[in-house]
Amino acid sequence: MGDFSHLITQKVNLALVQELALNELIEILDKCEGTKVLMWDETLTGPISLIAKPEILKDRNVVKMFPIKAGDLPNVDVRNFIFITRPNLQLMNAIASNIHSDERKNRVYRKNFYLFFLPKRSLLCENQLKSKGVYGNFQVIDDFKCQLFPFDSDVISMEYPDAYKEIYIEGDYTCLHHSATALCTIQKLYGRIPKIVGKGKFAEKVKELAKTMILNEDISIERGSIDQLIILDRSIDIMSALATQLTYEGLIDEFYGINNTIVNFPASKFNSQGEEASFNRMTSTTEKKQIILNSKEELYVELRDKNFNAVGPVLSRLAKTLTDAANERHGEKTIKELKEIVEKLPKLKANELSFANHTTIASLIKEHISQYDFLDELSCEQDFMMCVDLDKSNEYIEGMICKQKPLENILRLICMQSAAGNGLKQKVFDGYKKEIAHSYGLDALLKLGKLEKVGMIRVQSGARSYNILRKTLNLTVEDFMEVAPKDISYVHSFYAPMLVRIVEHSLKPLGWNGLNDILSCIPEPSFEDYQLPLVNGSSSTTGRRDSLTSEMSQSDIPRVILVFFAGGCTFAEISALRFLSQQDDNNVEFVIATTKIINKHTFLSSIIN
């Protein structure tokens, strides 16, 4: 069934998510007899690669795959065409044009069309097909019920595009409903989660929806393998979404973009590992080196969550062991020793390759982060994190505007200033607006308007909650350690992402209740809810696993907590959560679920574009 072994290392086996999705896919393919062509919504090919290997499709008589594009269908002599898409009106128009062109060309033996919507059918899309007059041309129109894509043994993402924009700009809560459905799917797979806590208006909405949905589903009320669910609104902590991530994985994502665990680097930077350098490689500069980053690779597991400053030492230590191992191969050896070495060779080879790749990647990253622009921008955002000079117009930002640096970078910094100061002084805000309009024209007004609507830039009002929380939650740490960290703040050098800090605090003996006071300065609802009837005293024979009150005393078995980020989370936040679970005294395992994995670029551009 393909190689998805990396999904199975935790108590909660995420390979089940993969299998569920794969079975859905196979069921869909089996609805169509004979050889077939798959037509994909391009945004889905990445996520689908996380659940199905190409061989499986081949086994199901899939001859070829193409992205959906308007115009003629690709010229393949196959009768059956299966479209798989997210509900997207543009793609409906493209599909309709495909069908019209087929009708013109093949008057007698037309193709058979199938259409599947991920994660479910959409009325608007179907109406669109009807208005284009092709609705009746499909043999089957149905759902491809797949909400979750497993990224790794502890991370699942819905890969829902533009969730934040939909909720905050358009007021469209489709994503919340999908999130709730996804949480139901998780509970169908792993059993009911007894306790749900969370913070934020939309987190609460997701919880409410999921709770009613569960009631209408036939899920056993048996307690499952997940002990607790924490739902957090992205909007509570914009700072961390926009902050530059300083972990290895986070930096790779910010500079090269990790899409569904796949990342492309300029191939010219990579040694062609002993292969003969082909002409192609020599001549083309656009060629990409594709690397899959997941926990299948031992070295990557070690590096991914580290602060970038800790990556160098690991690599040089490894360089030493590799040379030692290589040296070991030479010199006098007994037959037995030789045999052992030969057995180790393939692994050694893989290690060498992995080492070479990561050395190259690290040097690429190093190049980027040594740029003065990067460093200046970083120090500016770090000033904001420390709440330095929030009430003044920031000189660095002004300079950037006057130099017409990329607008998105500027807007990001302004958002951070606003987040740190709970808004900008009216004068400062107006000044920025004017300067930006002078540099970038009226177009920029619309982008500013969107950020204002979302509340990411606003005029100062109310208590400076960030600054309060910075102290109460100890968000900026003074004696920080990047290489051998003692605190999650290492992911941004000295700044701890707030949502993860909240999770960390909830692990303490006082639990979620203890947090409520601290979080009261954020004007969003906080909730704590139970999905199982509390066991009453008389039935104490059922054992401690059933008793919620004794939960805290179970110190030997690690608790499993599902953390759901409504609106996206960053790799740095994932790393921080992993760091927490590695601390023995926490005794916890996390499963991280998110609407999408974001970084400072993708998050901002999904809102303003």
Partner 1 sequence: MSLLYNIGDWFTLGTGNTYRKIELYSMDFSDEVDLNHMKIFGSPFGGPIAITKNLNEPKKVGVNTKPVIYIFSSSGKLISKINWNSGVLLTMGWSDSEELLCIQENGIVLIYNIFGQYQHKFSMGQEATDTQIVDGRIYPSSQGTGIAVMTTHFRIFIANNYQDPKVRFLPEIPKSVLDPTSWTVLIEDRKTTCLIARDQELFKVKQDDNICTAVCISFDFEFKAIRFMSVSYNNRHIAIYTNTGILWLGTSDLRTKYCEFNCGRTEMPKQIEWCCDIEDPMKADAVVITYPSILLIVGINGDSNIYTYDPAIFLIPESDGVRVLTNNYHELIQKVPKCVTSIFGINISEPSSFLFESYRKFCERSHQSDEYLCLIMDKIEIAVDECIKAAGYEFDTETQKSLISAAHFGKGFIHGHNPDDYIRMCKILRVLNAVRKEDIGIPLTINQFLHLTPAVIIDRLVFRKHYSLAIQISKHLNLSESRIMEHWAYHKIMYDNNDNEIVQKISEKFKDPLKLGISFCTIAKRAEEVGKTKLAIKLLELEPNQSLQVPLLLKLGENKKALLAATQSGDTDLIYMVLMQLKDQTPLSKFQMIIREFPLAQNLYKKYCSLNNITALKDIYLQEDDFLAQAEMSLEEALDSHIKLDSSLLDISSNYKRAHKDIEAEICDDHRKLMKQQKTLEEKYARAFHGLSLHDTVRELLVLGDLKMVEKVKNDHKMSDKHYWHLKVEILSGNYQWEELEKFSKSKKSPIGYEHFVDACLKARNINEAKKYIIKCREDKRIILYNRAGLYEDSAKLAFELRDTQSLINIHNIVSLTNENNLISKIESLIASVSSKK
Residues that bind partner 1 (CB under 8 A): 33-34, 79, 89, 109, 120-124, 127, 170-174, 176-177, 180, 205, 209, 212, 215-216, 218, 372, 398-399, 401-404, 430, 433-435, 437-443, 445-446, 449
Find out whether 598 and 161 touch, Cβ atoms under 8 Å: no
Q: How far is the CB of 569 from partner 1 (least distance, A)?
A: 22
- Of 4 and 117, the one with the shorter C-beta distance to partner 1 is 117
- Of 284 and 404, the one with the shorter C-beta distance to partner 1 is 404
Give the three-class secondary structure for 496: coil
Name the residue type at position 339: K
- Of 127 and 363, the one with the shorter C-beta distance to partner 1 is 127
| C-alpha distance from residue 356 to each of 155, 360, 483 (Å) | 26, 6, 22
**CA 457 – CA 448 distance, rounded (Å):** 8
- Of 137 and 240, the one with the shorter C-beta distance to partner 1 is 137
Nearest to 242 by CA among 428, 419, 467, 500: 419
Q: How far is the CB of 147 from partner 1 (least distance, A)?
A: 14
Mention every residue, 6+ apart, whose C-beta is less than 8 A from residue 163.
175, 566, 567, 568, 595, 596
- Of 229 and 507, the one with the shorter C-beta distance to partner 1 is 229
DSSP symbol at 79:
S
Residues forming a β-bridge with 62: 36
- Of 441 and 523, the one with the shorter C-beta distance to partner 1 is 441
**CA 91 – CA 87 distance, rounded (Å):** 8
- Of 410 and 496, the one with the shorter C-beta distance to partner 1 is 410
Q: How far is the CB of 479 from partner 1 (least distance, A)?
A: 16
Nearest to 167 by CA among 571, 446, 464, 456: 456
- Of 100 and 121, the one with the shorter C-beta distance to partner 1 is 121
471: how many CB neighbours lie within 10 A of its CB?
10
Q: How far is the CB of 171 from partner 1 (least distance, A)?
A: 3
Q: How far is the CB of 132 from partner 1 (least distance, A)?
A: 13
| C-alpha distance from residue 306 to each of 71, 84, 155 (Å) | 48, 38, 17
Q: How far is the CB of 206 from partner 1 (least distance, A)?
A: 9
Residue with tokens 């609805």: 31
Please state the length of the chain: 609
- Residue 541 phi/psi, 5-degree rounding, is -65, -20
- Of 427 and 471, the one with the shorter C-beta distance to partner 1 is 427
- Of 181 and 351, the one with the shorter C-beta distance to partner 1 is 181
- Of 120 and 289, the one with the shorter C-beta distance to partner 1 is 120
**CA 248 – CA 359 distance, rounded (Å):** 12
Q: How far is the CB of 187 from partner 1 (least distance, A)?
A: 16
Mention every residue, 6+ apart, whose C-beta is less than 8 A from residue 67.
39, 40, 41, 42, 45
Residues forming a β-bridge with 105: none
Q: How far is the CB of 112 from partner 1 (least distance, A)?
A: 8
- Of 123 and 335, the one with the shorter C-beta distance to partner 1 is 123
Name the residue type at position 96: A
- The sign of the torsion formed by the CA atoms of 171, 180, 568, 83 equals negative
Q: How far is the CB of 34 from partner 1 (least distance, A)?
A: 8
Find out whether 558 and 587 touch, Cβ atoms under 8 Å: yes
Residue with tokens 């061989």: 55
Q: How far is the CB of 440 from partner 1 (least distance, A)?
A: 6
Mention every residue, 6+ apart, whose C-beta is less than 8 A from residue 406.
none
- Of 174 and 354, the one with the shorter C-beta distance to partner 1 is 174
| C-alpha distance from residue 470 to each of 129, 478, 485, 495, 498 (Å) | 52, 12, 19, 9, 9
Nearest to 182 by CA among 147, 215, 149, 152: 147
**CA 572 – CA 582 distance, rounded (Å):** 15
Q: How far is the CB of 196 from partner 1 (least distance, A)?
A: 16
Q: How far is the CB of 264 from partner 1 (least distance, A)?
A: 29
**CA 387 – CA 367 distance, rounded (Å):** 29
Residues forming a β-bridge with 273: none
Q: How far is the CB of 74 from partner 1 (least distance, A)?
A: 21
Residues forming a β-bridge with 157: 149, 594
